[in-house]
Structure formats: C-alpha cells, structure tokens
Amino acid sequence: MINIISFIILIIICIELLISFYTLIFLFNYHQDNIDTNIKDYPTVSIIVPAYNEEKNIKNTLDRLINLDYPKDKLNIIVVDDGSIDNTYNIAKEYEKYHIVKVYRKENSGKSSAINFGIKNSNSEYIVVLDADSIPGKDSLKKMIKYFYFYDVDIVIPSVQVNKTDNIIQKYQYIDYVVYNFSRISLDSMESLFIAPGPFSVFKKEVFDKIGLFDEKNITEDMEIALRAQKNGFKIKYCPESIIYTEPPDTFIKLLRQRSRWYLGFIENFNKYRDIENEYLREIGFGISITLQFIIPVAFFIILYTYLYQLYNFFIYLSLINYNIFYIFQNYSFNINTYIFELFSTNLIILYLFSLLLLINFLLFLSFYHKIDKSRSFRSLIFYSIIYLFLSLYFNAIFIIVSFYYKLFGRKLKWGGLEWNNSLINRLINR
C-alpha cells in the first residue's frame, strides 16, 4: 500500500511539474513578438462601468478612466448605476462635466443587466467592461487595443490583481490571483481561455451583435460570455502586461460569498458548455484551472507531512539514544534498520528531488511575475506564497463544500440584483 501511495504521489508531482515547466517556458518566450503595432487611427471605445453601491470606489475609478492615455475623441465612458441606495449616482453624475462621460440610472436588476444597458447605449467599435471597484493602468487600453491588430482576435482580457494586502485574507488573494494569471498564460497558448473578467475585458462590438448580450440570469456572466464566444468561434487573447487592480474582500465571510458564486458559476457553465467543440478547452482548459487550484496545495501538504513525519521519527530515535548525536556516527552500521535510515530511502530521495525542483520552479515563476508587476517586493511575494500554500487547501475545500451544498440544497441566493435559485432541490420542487 505504501508503494502504491508513493507512486501516486510521484505521478501527481510529475504532472504538476510538466504543467509548470511548460508554462514557464511559455512565460519566458511570451514577449518575443513585437506588439508595438503602429496604430495611426485608434478605434472608438466605450467603457461600460456597472455600479451598485460603489460610493467608496467610483470616484477613484472615474479619475483613472478620464486620465487614460487614449484619444479622447475616440473614448466614451458610460456609467450605469444599477439602483444604488447610496451616493454612487450623485458622485458619478459630477463627472458628466467631462464630455466623454455619460451617467445613467436604472432599477436594480443585476450587473449583467447594467452592462447590457450600457452596450445598448453605445455606438463604439469596441466595448470595455470595467467593475466599479477596479482601476486600470494609464496605458492599459492602448496595450490591449494593439492586441486586436497584432493577433486578429475578438476579445482581449487583462491580468487582474488585488490592490490591497492589508490582512492575511488579502495576502492570500494576491497569490491566488497570481495563480489565476499563471493559468491564463497556459490556457492562452492553447486558445482555451474561458473567462473574460469584469475588470477591463475588451470586446469587439460585433461579438455582441452575433452572439447576443450578457446572460442576465447567470451568476458568473464573465465566464458564460467567454464560453459562448468560444463556442461560436471567436478568439480570446490574454494581455499579461495590462494589469488591472481590483478591490479584494477583506474578511473570510466576504471571500466565501464571492468564491461560492464563482464555484457555482463554474459548475453551471461547465455543465452548459461541456460539449464545446474546442477540445483543448473541453479536455485540458478546465483541468488546468482545477489542477492549479488543488494539485499545488495537495502536493505541498503531502511533502510537508512527509518531512514533518520523518522529523518526528528522527526525534523519537534521538530520544532512544538520549540525544547523543555522536552515537549515530559511531554506530552507523547499527542504524541501517532504524528510523534514521528512512530519511535516505529511495522514495524519499526522489521526493526530496521533486521538492527541490518544485521550489526552484516556483521561485522562477515568482521572479518572472515580479518583472511584470513590481507593486510588491519579491520578499513580499515569497511571504504571501507561504500564507497561500498553508491556507489554500483548507479554503478551497470550504469553498467547494459550500458551493456543492448550495447546488444541492440551496433555496435562494442573491448577489446584487441577481437572484439564484437553480439548486437541484429547487428544480425537483418546481417540476
């Protein structure tokens, strides 16, 4: 049984190493293409900002948008207040003094409804969706528009990162977003991206003309629209150098609520598009996301448990010889069949080597990521990673359990103006 378990452990680590090294190779070659496409006449762009009770964030977001490095005669900013009960609308309305800003107000009916309202009131060639709590870089839009010309794609998505790391929950999320961005580079290389995240994804207007607007009943509309686009043959490209900062949940309860929605949305959209023709997306794309979320923490805990178990045995052995270290060396032949020998067994030596490779691999990845995003020091990245590795297995397990509970037994959930009641028990009751 021990040999079988050891074999399974090694297989898991091998798979993770293959995926990681493949992605690292792609990372270090990603910027070889010349993206400095000379655009003489930039296209018209409408940035849709759906907002619900965002009085704390909307001013900062709009300040960034009006200062984007993009021709102002080609830029429109459309704020759609989705029935906020705070001061969001009044704050946003003040920005109509800039001719590029237009603010609308509608009854609360959910984020997707607000986005669709904005799209219907736009005549631009490109549509950008930006969450009201997210902040783009000054040159983010230009960088992403260039991708459309260089790669001939239909949707371009950015890197997303948290803008605050004030507590352990937010530090955990920082590395979690690094992992998400890491997986997107792998998925991008296989044309298998399946999320167009709310913070600053850019669409050709013709995408909506051909496949329709956002699904107003879907709790993860950014995933659903991307999968629908993939199913209809539209191409999605990832722009890692365009980093958009978003406001992260600051408590575990808020994080649990957010991730439960993400996981429920993943389950429903995976089921809805499980027969998608893109075999890389169907067979590998979904798997990579799951792998990076679970294999990394599982491998970490297996390795950590093995080391701690061996250390425990070693101290037991030391206690048997009254902690006389010299006795070990003086009577080494006697120790061949004792606890100390386990530290040098073949299986463990292999595990040590894989651990070392994983560590080197992980440090190389953090080093590369630090070149793209210098908002945190490399030392901070290592510290956040340690927090992430210790928490991710427990957090992800809780997110999964809660999500499946809601999927099986949940009666009614609300996010903004959207109401979800698609649990199995509800479907049985409503037959």
pLDDT bracket for residue 327 (50, 70, 90):
low
Residue 207 has pLDDT above 60, yes or no: yes
Question: Do residues 131 and 226 touch, judged by C-beta distance below 8 A?
Answer: no
Range in 99-103, 240-244, 276-280, 348-352 the model is least confident about:
348-352
Residue predicted with more confidence, 162 or 390: 162
Length of the chain: 431
Residue predicted with more confidence, 331 or 241: 241
Q: What is the mean pLDDT of residues 150-177?
A: 93
DSSP string, 344-371: T-HHHHHHHHHHHHHHHHHHHHHHHHHH
Helix (H, G, I), strand (E, B) or coil at 49: strand
Q: What pLDDT, in 10s, does the model give residues 108-149? A: 989 999 999 999 999 999 999 999 999 999 999 999 999 999
Report yes or no on 44 lying in a domain: yes
Q: What pLDDT, on the 0 to 100 scale, is given for residue 60? A: 95
Residue 159 has pLDDT above 80, yes or no: yes
81's enclosing H/E stretch is: strand 75-82
Q: Which long-range contacts (CB under 8 A, 24 or more apart) does 313-320 make?
A: 313/339, 313/342, 314/339, 314/340, 314/343
Report yes or no on 402 lying in a domain: no
**What domain count does the chain have?**
1
Q: What pLDDT, on the 0 to 100 scale, is given for residue 334? A: 44
Residue 344 has pLDDT above 70, yes or no: no
Question: Do residues 48 and 129 touch, judged by C-beta distance below 8 A?
Answer: yes
Report yes or no on 256 lying in a domain: no
What is the number of alpha carbons within 13 Å of residue 312 lying toward its C-beta?
A: 6
Residue 34 has pLDDT above 60, yes or no: no
Backbone angles phi, psi at 247, to 5 degrees: -80, 120
Report yes or no on 390 lying in a domain: no
Q: What pLDDT, on the 0 to 100 scale, is given for residue 133? A: 93
Report yes or no on 366 lying in a domain: no
Residue 316 CA to residue 322 CA, distance in Å, equals 10
Report yes or no on 190 lying in a domain: yes
Residue 410 has pLDDT above 80, yes or no: no
Residue predicted with more confidence, 166 or 332: 166
Torsion of CA 284, 286, 287, 290, to 10 degrees: 160
Residue predicted with more confidence, 198 or 342: 198
pLDDT bracket for residue 32 (50, 70, 90):
very low
Q: What pLDDT, in 10s, does the model give residues 228-260? A: 999 999 999 999 889 999 999 999 999 999 998
Highest mean pLDDT among 127-141, 180-194, 263-277: 127-141
Report yes or no on 95 lying in a domain: yes
Which residue(s) pair with 204 in the sheet?
126
Q: What pLDDT, on the 0 to 100 scale, is given for residue 396? A: 83
Domain interval for residue 234: 34-251
Report yes or no on 88 lying in a domain: yes
Q: What pLDDT, in 10s, does the model give residues 348-406? A: 666 666 667 777 777 777 887 777 777 888 888 889 888 887 888 788 888 888 888 88
pLDDT bracket for residue 157 (50, 70, 90):
very high
pLDDT bracket for residue 339 (50, 70, 90):
very low
**Domain CATH for 237:** 3.90.550.10
Averaged pLDDT of the chain: 82
Residue 49 has pLDDT above 90, yes or no: yes
Q: What pLDDT, on the 0 to 100 scale, is given for residue 1? A: 43
Q: What pLDDT, on the 0 to 100 scale, is given for residue 363? A: 79
Q: What is the mean pLDDT of residues 271-292?
A: 68
